[in-house]
Amino acid sequence: MSDSSKRMANPEDMEHLARLLDGRGQLRDKLDEAFTRASHLGVSDKLSALKPIRSWTDDTAVDLRRRSAILRAENGDPRAAALYAGFTAEELKGANLPPDAMLIANASVANGDKFDTKWLERQRGETLSDWIQRIKSDAVAKVTNDKNLGEVVGDYIDITAMASTVPGAFKMTAAGTLQLIKYFKSLKNAGSVEFLKAPGTTLAQLLKGQSTSRLIPAQIRSLAATIGARTPAPILDVLTGKDSLAALSGKQWAWEANLLKVGQNASNLSRATGAGRFGAFASGAGTALRTAGWWRAAGVGGSAVSTVIGAVDLVQEGNPVDAFKRDKAGYVAKVSGVAFNASLTAAMIAPNPVTIGAAVVTGAVYGVATIVDNWDTVKKFPGKVADAGAWAGEKIGEGAGKLADGAKSVGKAIGGWFD
């Protein structure tokens, strides 16, 4: 494509043309339909001359989108490299594209005639999050011209992600198991029932002096209770939840309350006093939020978002059978991660034996699967870091040598001035 044609072309028009070729219900689908009908009628040979058009349609659509992405890169569109890789605009909506890696990726796309862009292409079954993580390490390898250093960056990202998620999953498994044991034991005893608590509400219990966890030192529990007692009640209720509203679900403390029941009962009370449907809904939702408190509500929102992001990743993996064959441990880790976040969300909203039990099981599976998936990375990481250190030392040595040579040249020049 010449410079003049680049300036005259419109990326939106090129993308529209690509959709006409391979979009849903467009030329590619119509060709497939025609060949299917011909096969049923036993006249496939009559369409043999059209077979090359099918591959031409696919190749041309891809080429048009890549040319469009090149134009977008030249115009500074931050999504250019991702579009060039093969992701759609819909897949990129709301995506968090890392500016450092995208800067290098977009520069490669904009100068595709000078630089290799093969590393940017989306691999089979690769999700957007997988692609973003891969190009971070590939970008380092491109800049430094050292493949091992790029792998160190990628492995570090994997290990850091594992370290930030696996402990939480195992913690939920351990804490949830203890809760369930206490709960079922209390049902057999004649005393009061040990109600289950929503995950992520430990701080709220500490501030209100109601934490019974033996894992937390007594001094910390005492200090937290003192801080909570000195905090104004309205502020404490906003952060930890309003306990008086928990009675709407038959519980004493906010962290024991089923937020769905609280909201439903509050909505029913509003309806009984003459409120309309919208007013009753608003009343129920508001009461549920006040019962949850800011910390619990934020936890519910965070785990719900993680569930959606994980589900989108699974959809982008394509056929589940093929995805499992490509990476058994990795796919199990992703599926169990989605299941864990979904069950954790449910447990935070409505703590009961079913939701807590689901979070316990899925947390254990997710933690183990993630460790298995990253075990080779963990084992090889120290060796790769050592190699990267040797590479860095070599480069520093080269730089020091050049600096010394430069100093000698300057010294000779200065000496010459006095000769």
Per-residue confidence (pLDDT) for residue 112, from 0 to 100: 65
- Of all helices (H) and strands (E), which one includes residue 49? none
- Ramachandran area for residue 42 (φ above 0: left; ψ -120 to 50: alpha; else beta): left
Q: Tell me, what amino acid is at 301?
A: G
| Integer Cα distance of 171 and 340 in angstroms | 12
Low-confidence ranges of the chain (pLDDT < 70): 1-8, 112-115, 143-144, 146, 149-150, 190-191, 384-419
Instruction: Write down the pLDDT at residue 354.
Output: 95
Question: Do you know the residue count of the chain?
Answer: 419
Distance CA 118, CA 66 (A): 12
Half-sphere CA count of 182, side-chain side, radius 13 A: 16
What token pair was written down for 44? 């496939």
With beta carbons less than 8 A apart as the criterion, state whether 299 and 200 touch.
yes
pLDDT tens digits for 292-323? 999 999 999 999 998 998 898 888 888 888 88
Predicted local confidence at residue 388, as pLDDT: 56
pLDDT at 62: 83
Contact (CB, 8 A) for 242 and 250: no
Whole-angstrom Cα distance, residue 223 to residue 206?
Answer: 9
How confident is the model over 264-292, as pLDDT tens digits? 999 999 988 888 889 989 999 999 999 99
Res 4: pLDDT: 44
Give the pLDDT score at 329.
85
Separation of alpha carbons 181 and 168, rounded Å: 20
Q: What pLDDT is recorded for position 411?
A: 47
Distance between CA atoms of 70 and 15, rounded to whole angstroms?
Answer: 12
Q: Which amino acid is at 26?
A: Q
User: What is d(CA 105, CA 373) in angstroms, rounded to the nearest whole number?
Assistant: 27
What lies within 8 Å, CB to CB, of 142 at 6+ separation is 104, 108, 119, 150
Give the predicted TM-score (pTM) of the model.
0.72
Q: Is 305 helix (H, G, I), strand (E, B) or coil?
A: helix
